[in-house]
Amino acid sequence: MLSKLAYSRTGGGEPLVLIHGIGHRWQAWEPVIEQLSEHFDVIALDLPGFGASPALSEAGVSASMENVLQAIRENFEEWGIDRPHVVGNSLGGAVALYLGDHGLARSVVALSPAGFFGPGGRVQAVAALLAIKLAAYAPDAVLRRVSRSAVGRRLVGFLLYAHPERYDADRVLGDALSLKRSPAFWPTLLQAVNFRFRGGVRVPTTIAWGTKDRLLNPKQAAQARRQLPRATHVPLVGAGHVPMGDCPDEIARIVHETVKRGDEAAGSAPLSATA
């Protein structure tokens, strides 16, 4: 196995896999996990080299999209699931789209997915990610002090969230420390410099974009619409790049609607983890 992924699993029903973005961890999904776990077997994973998951470099391979997909495929088998519904954000959104394109997902929700950069969009995204990463290199004591202040939380979170004040000090500190220590950040960022999504849509897919996304400009939603016209495209009004905390009810609604379309397209009864 390329990377035995860390994950949280809760609820029951059809398997639903949640995939975070670059530098983040499975806890990014906490604002929606409780709602979703009332209806689904929710698995929120840490991508290789992020959170508590081993980096792909430990297996002697690069952090390429192909290897990330292979690692996830291997963990699906380990968890006893086949073609789950998947939801991803940012880098995780691109991963989710590729899982759908490769026939490894039953439906896909991609929230501000990477891979649809327009003129200047790539530079803006890389610059923002560099700023976030470099800020995380501050001494732990400084990060702890900043996270305890509402103003500090807004300063460190405004690039990611429309409402960073909704996150408590422990959550912000945990995210910053995880980002600081993630061995996959730099290799993944180097891959992102030339990354473009080149797949298609083979399963029911919804692409949703926060209208206040400061990391991946909302104008990229238009490129996604042109490139993937078969997907359903939805604006998340007032939401930022990581919208799960900005509009959790809207995210849950989109997931439910997309899962329903996925089940209808499959032409069979809803899947369970043991189906």
Q: What is the pLDDT of residue 82?
A: 95
Distance CA 235, CA 228 (A): 15
Q: What is the pLDDT of residue 92?
A: 98
Q: Which two tokens stand for residue 41?
A: 């077997």
List the CATH number of the domain containing 13.
3.40.50.1820
Total structural domains within the chain = 1
For residues 129 and 189, the answer to whether their CB atoms sit within 8 Å is yes
For residues 98 and 69, the answer to whether their CB atoms sit within 8 Å is yes
Secondary structure of 198-261 in HEC code, one letter for each residue: CCCCCCCEEEEEECCCCCCCCCHHHHHHHHCCCCEEEEECCCCCCCCCCCHHHHHHHHHHHHHH
In a domain, 146, yes or no: no
Q: What is the pLDDT of residue 106?
A: 97
For residues 132 and 160, the answer to whether their CB atoms sit within 8 Å is yes
Distance CA 114, CA 97 (A): 10
In a domain, 169, yes or no: no
pLDDT average per 10 residues of sequence, the chain (275 residues) = 96 98 96 98 98 96 95 98 98 98 98 91 90 93 91 87 88 93 94 89 98 95 96 97 96 98 77 40
Residue 114 three-state SS: coil
In a domain, 221, yes or no: yes
Distance CA 1, CA 92 (A): 20
In a domain, 273, yes or no: no
Residue type, 227: Q
In a domain, 152, yes or no: no
Residue type, 99: L
Q: What is the pLDDT of residue 122?
A: 87
In a domain, 106, yes or no: yes
Domain assignment of residue 116, given as a range: 7-121+195-266
In a domain, 164, yes or no: no
In a domain, 23, yes or no: yes
Distance CA 98, CA 41 (A): 21
